[in-house]
C-alpha cells in the first residue's frame, strides 16, 4: 500500500530521492495499513543531526485503544544514515532546496518506509507547463485508447 504526496510533485521539482525508515508508536502501523494517512501538508526538518517528519497526519483507528493514543500530527523521527543526513543538510543550507516526503509505504511485513526527496520549488509558470504536459498526455492516451 502506497500513499503518494501529489502536492509535492505539483509544487516541487524532485532532484534526488532517499528511502528512510520512520519511528512509529502504538497503533500507527495498523492505521497506516488501514489507509488513514495524509502527507499533503507534511514537510521535513533537520535539527541537531536528526531528521524529522512534521505535519504528517496518521489518524486514529477506531478498533484500537485510545488510552494508549498518540498525537495524530506529532513530530516523527526518520531513520537515515548520518552521512545521508549530513549530505541533505549541506545541500539545503547552501542552496534554495527543501526536503519533502513524496511517498509512504509498507515494505515487507511491518516495515514502514518514507521516500524523502531533495526538491526545488517550482515557479507558477513551471506549474502551468507541467499541467499542460499532463493534459496533452492524457488526451493522447484517450485518443490511442479510442483508436484501438
DSSP code per residue over 92-128: HHHSSEEEEEEEEEEETTTEEEEEEEEEEEPPHHHHH
Domains, the chain, ordered by start:
2-122 (2.40.280.10)
Q: Which three cell numbers stand for residue 41?
A: 501538508
Q: In this structure, what C-alpha cell is assigned to residue 133?
A: 504536459
- Specify the DSSP class assigned to residue 60: P
Q: What is the pLDDT along the chain (148 residues), one digit of tens a residue?
A: 788 988 888 888 899 999 999 999 878 888 888 888 999 889 999 999 899 999 999 888 877 776 666 778 889 999 999 999 999 999 998 888 999 999 999 987 778 999 999 998 888 887 888 889 889 999 998 888 877 6
Amino acid at each position: 500500500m502506497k500513499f503518494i504526496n501529489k502536492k509535492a510533485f505539483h509544487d516541487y521539482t524532485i532532484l534526488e530521492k532517499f528511502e528512510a525508515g520512520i519511528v512509529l508508536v502504538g497503533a500507527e502501523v495498523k492505521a497506516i495499513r488501514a489507509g488513514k494517512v495524509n502527507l499533503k501538508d507534511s514537510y521535513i526538518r533537520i535539527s541537531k543531526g536528526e531528521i524529522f517528519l512534521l505535519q504528517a497526519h496518521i489518524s486514529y483507528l477506531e478498533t484500537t485503544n485510545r488510552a494508549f493514543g498518540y498525537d495524530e500530527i506529532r513530530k516523527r523521527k526518520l531513520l537515515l544514515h548520518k552521512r545521508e543526513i549530513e549530505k541533505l543538510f549541506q545541500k539545503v543550507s547552501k542552496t534554495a532546496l527543501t526536503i519533502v516526503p513524496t511517498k509512504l509505504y509498507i515494505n515487507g511485513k511491518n516495515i514502514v518506509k518514507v521516500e524523502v526527496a531533495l526538491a526545488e520549488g517550482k515557479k507558477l509558470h513551471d506549474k502551468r507547463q507541467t499541467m499542460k504536459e499532463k493534459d496533452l498526455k492524457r488526451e493522447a492516451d484517450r485518443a490511442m485508447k479510442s483508436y484501438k
